[in-house]
Structure 1
Amino acid sequence: MTHNKAATEPNDLGRYFIERANAGDVDGLVALYEPSAVLAFPPGNLATGHAEIRKVFEQFVAAAPVLSPGRQHPPLVTGDLAMTAATQTNDDVSVEIARRQPDGSWLWVADQPSLTP
C-alpha cells in the first residue's frame, strides 16, 4: 500500500504523514524518515532507525487512529535542513527536522510529534 510520492517541500512530509497514517500504511510512514532517523514517540520513548520506527508505527496504526490535519507552520529552512512544525487539533505541537536528499526530496531525520505547549 506504500505511497511513493516524494516530498518536494519540507511541509509535504506532514501532509503525507496524515494521509499514510489514516490509510494504515506503515511502509509509507517509515519511508518519510531517513534510515537512521530518530522518533520520540510514544512520549518518553525514542525509536532510532527504520526497524524501530516501523515497530512504533505498526502499533500506532493497529489502534486505527483517525488523524486530522493541524495547522502547519511555515518551515524554517537553512541550506539542506528544515524545521517543520504543526499545531495539532488537540493543541499539541509537533516539531521535526528534515533534510534535503541528493535527489532534491525531503525526509525527516528527527521527529518530536507530541510537544505539549
Structure 2
Amino acid sequence: MSPTPRTRATEPEDLARMFVERANAGDAEGLAELYADDAVVAYPPGTQTVGREAILALYRQMMAQAPRFEVEEPLPTVRYGDLAVTSTRPADGTGGRVQVARQQADGTWLRIIDRPEIAG
C-alpha cells in the first residue's frame, strides 16, 4: 500500500497507540495497515466493513473530516495463543472499544476484529 515501510506492532497493545498516531496524522493507508487482509470493523454503527481495501476506503473518508483522537486508558489484554483481545476505556463515554488481534508469522500483530464503539 505504501512505498515507505511503517512500524509494525510487536505487541497487541501497540495497535491502539499506533491507530491514534496514524489517525491524527491523517494517514488512512497507515491505519489500514493495522488490519489483516480479511479483518472486520464494526463501523459505521450497525454495519460491518470487511477486508483491508474496504477498511482503507472507510478511513480515507473518515480522514477527510480531519478527526482528532486521544490515546485512551487501556484495559488488561487477554491472550489465547496467537489471539489477543484488547480494549480501552473511551474518553467520549461511548461505553467501550474492543479489538481482537492476531499474531502474524513474523511475530507482529494485526487487528482482525475491531468494534470501535459500544453504546453505554
Q: 1:45 & 1:61 partners in 2: Cα distance?
A: 19
Extract structure 1 runs of 4+ deviating beyond 4 A. Answer: none
Q: 2:77 & 2:88 partners in 1: Cα distance?
A: 10
Give 1:116 shift.
2.1
TM-score, normalised on structure 1? Answer: 0.95
Which of these residues, 73, 76, 98, is aligned with residue 74 of structure 1?
76
Partner of 2:64: 62
Q: Which runs of 5+ in 2 are unaligned?
A: none
Q: One-letter code of the match for 2:101? A: A
Q: Which runs of 5+ in 1 are unaligned?
A: none
Which of these residues, 6, 9, 26, is aligned with residue 7 of structure 1?
9
Q: Identity over the aligned pairs, expressed in percent?
A: 41
Alignment of 1:1-117 (within 5 A): 4-92=6-94, 93-117=96-120
TM-score, normalised on structure 2? Answer: 0.92
Give the count of matched residue pairs. 117
Give 1:115 shift.
1.0
Q: 2:55 & 2:117 partners in 1: Cα distance?
A: 15
Q: One-letter code of the match for 1:24? A: G
Q: One-letter code of the match for 1:99? A: R
Q: One-letter code of the match for 2:11? A: E
RMSD after superposition: 1.3
- Contact 1:3–1:20 (8 Å) recurs in 2: no
Q: One-letter code of the match for 1:112? A: R
